[in-house]
Amino acid sequence: MQGANHPSDTPISYVDRMTGFLIVIASFYIFTSFIQRCWAWLTGTSSVCSQTQRNSTVTPVSVNYHFTRRCNYKCGFCFHTAKTSFVLPLGEAKRGLKALRDAGMQKVNFSGGEPFLEDRGQYVGDLVTYCKHGLQLPSVSIVSNGSLIKESWFVKYGEYLDILALSCDSFNPETNELIGRQQGRRSHLDSLQRVRDWCYKYKVAFKLNTVVNTFNKDEDMTTHVTELKPCRWKVFQCLVLEGENAGEDALRDAEKFVISDEEFRDFLSRHKGVPSLVPESNEKMQNSYLILDEFMRFLDCRSGSKHPSKSLLDVGVQQALDFSGFDEKMFLARGGRYKWSKADMRLEW
Ligand code: SF4
């Protein structure tokens, strides 16, 4: 008997046809999702990663662009060290800044390294002018150690700059030497006073930044800071970041600079009479800044070291932001939004 019930001999049933059809559809789906995953992996847009790291509701309102890592100082706790000497061509940096403005940036802060080292301050001057005049940003600021700034810079670019923040950790020259906050025998305090006076002369809001560490934690800076009259005195707790100032690959070892939370609180309470004081603990500092490195990659500091995104010049702002690790709530909690345009500050010049 030639097997009457042999499947090959029977007409194909409706169920069999549907099963075959479904198998084809499923195979097609598996194949296309495999191709999509390969593409996402190759282009750095993996949907697996984006589920755990997606951050795309964030608007990059305030961005810190560390366009250079080179510096003429050697602060022992520096956490943005000269691991590369790369600086973007000016045109590329402007392209990235425009993309950020189009994505909602209102404030940009240029930082380093030392921003005035590149092309003797012309590079940062060009960026400041472009952001204020070209992009019409409400706030443009710079953080600098102050040692390389000339009065001619203020004459040329001062009108485009809202805020200049200078770093000063001590009013004792020996402490500055111990920290490395100076170049050779040149006095950091002389530079500070000189540049602060130019800020007043050329109507740029003057801000002061201090990192509290082992060597200055017992200092009382009240009189000096009161005399300097900064619009804001940002006081940071010394921060350790693996790969920057800690660990085998680091260019600095900040261990001997680290202070306890209690020592930081003591410093703050000693200076509570200074009205411009804005404290910033490690916890607040670590995730509440949008940090761009010299390649325009956002740096995610959540794990205690810096993990770069792809460059926003390659993948666009939103995709780069997905990997920024930015904590918007902490940004607001630390007072990240404040009167940051000099037009709004009503300063006494
Ligand atoms: S001045 Fe700033 S960038 Fe330069 S070494 Fe000191 S902390 Fe680092």
Q: What is the pLDDT of residue 263?
A: 96
Cβ–Cβ < 8 Å for 254, 214:
no
Residue 56 lies in a domain: no
What is residue 250's predicted lDDT score, i.e. its pLDDT? 74
Q: Does residue 114 sit in the same domain as residue 13? A: no
- Name the residue among 74, 99, 71, 101 with its Cα closest to residue 87: 71
Residue with structure tokens 């390389």?
Answer: 148
Q: Which of 75, 168, 199, 238 is catalytic?
A: 75
Task: Classify each residue of 116-143 as buried b or exposed e, where b means 16 or more C-beta atoms within 10 Å of its C-beta.
Answer: bbbeebebbbbbbbbbbeebebbbbbbb
Does 188 score more than 80 pLDDT? yes
The letter for the amino acid at 185 is R
Residues touching ligand 1 (Cβ under 6 Å) are 71, 73-75, 78, 80, 112-114, 145, 167
Q: Are the C-beta atoms of residues 146 and 166 closer than 8 Å to each other?
A: yes
CATH number of the domain bearing residue 130: 3.20.20.70
Q: Which of 38, 71, 131, 301 is catalytic?
A: 71
Q: At 286, is the pLDDT very low, low, confident or very high (cuts 50, 70, 90)? A: low
The answer to whether residues 226 and 85 belong to one domain is yes
Lowest mean pLDDT among 224-228, 248-252, 267-271: 248-252
User: What's the pLDDT score for residue 58?
Assistant: 80
Pairing state between β 297-300 and 307-311? antiparallel
Q: 248: exposed, middle or buried (C-beta count within 10 Å: 0-12, 13-18, 19+)?
A: exposed
> Is residue 52 domain-resident?
no
Residues 39, 113: one domain?
Answer: no
Active-site position among 49, 78, 168, 238:
78
Mutation to probe ligand 1, out of 65, 67, 167 (largest number of atoms < 8 A from CB) = 167
Question: What average pLDDT does the segment 291-314 reach?
Answer: 87
What are the Cα distances from residue 163, in Å, to 94, 159, 206, 346?
A: 20, 11, 6, 13
78 classed as catalytic = yes
User: Distance (Å, rounded) from C-alpha 91 to C-alpha 97?
Assistant: 10
Number of domains in the chain: 2
- Residue 222's identity, in one-letter code, is T
User: How far, in Å, from the CA of 238 to the mean position of ligand 1?
Assistant: 13
Tokens of 194: 């000189």
Looking at residue 5, its pLDDT comes to: 34
Whether residues 66 and 38 share a domain: the answer is no
Give pTM, 2 decimals: 0.79
200 and 88 assigned to the same domain? yes
| Whole-number Å distance between alpha carbons of 142 and 154 | 13
Instruction: Please give the distance, rounded to the nearest whole angstrom, from the Cα atom of residue 208 to the centre of ligand 1.
Output: 14
Residue 316 Cα to ligand 1 middle (Å): 29
Which of 24-33, 154-163, 243-252, 285-294 reaches the highest mean pLDDT?
154-163
Answer yes or no: do 65 and 18 share one domain.
no
Q: Average pLDDT for residues 77-84, to the nearest whole number?
A: 87
Q: What is the tens place of the pLDDT at every residue in 109-120?
A: 999 999 999 999
What percentage of the chain has pLDDT greater than the value 90?
Answer: 59
199 counts as catalytic: no
What residue's CA is closest to ligand 1, atom 7? 78
Shortest-distance atom of ligand 1 to CA 77? 7
More confident residue, 335 or 322: 322
The minimum-distance atom of ligand 1 relative to the CA of 145 is 1
Q: Above 60 in pLDDT, residue 38? A: no
Mean pLDDT, to the nearest integer, of 81-89?
A: 92
Query: What pLDDT score was predicted for residue 333?
Result: 67
Tell me what the pLDDT averaged over the chain comes to: 83
Class of residue 177 by CB neighbours under 10 A (exposed 0-12, middle 13-18, buried 19+): middle
Asked whether residue 2 is assigned to any structural domain, the reply reads no
- Indicate which atom in ligand 1 lies nearest the CA of residue 181: 6
Average pLDDT over residues 332-337: 65
| Percent with pLDDT over 70 in the chain | 74
Asked whether residue 34 carries a pLDDT value surpassing 60, the answer given is no
**Rounded to the nearest whole angstrom, what is the distance from the C-alpha of residue 244 to the centroid of ligand 1?**
12
Is 75 a catalytic site residue?
Answer: yes
Ligand 1, atom 3, lies closest to the CA of 113
Which pLDDT score, from 0 to 100, does residue 53 have? 42
- Can you give the pLDDT at residue 337? 65
Q: Which two tokens stand for residue 236?
A: 């940071």
pLDDT of residue 202: 98
Which of 73, 117, 291 has most ligand 1 atoms within 8 Å of its beta carbon, as the pocket-test mutant? 73
Please check the confidence at residue 46 and state whether its pLDDT lies above 50. no
91 located within any domain:
yes
In a domain, 286, yes or no: yes
Mean pLDDT of 307-311: 90
β-strands 205-212, 232-237 pairing: parallel
Q: Which of 22-36, 108-122, 220-234, 271-285 has the lowest mean pLDDT?
A: 22-36
Range of the domain at 28: 9-43
* Residue 54: band (very low, low, confident or very high) from pLDDT cuts 50, 70, 90: very low
Question: Residue 18 falls within a domain, yes or no?
Answer: yes
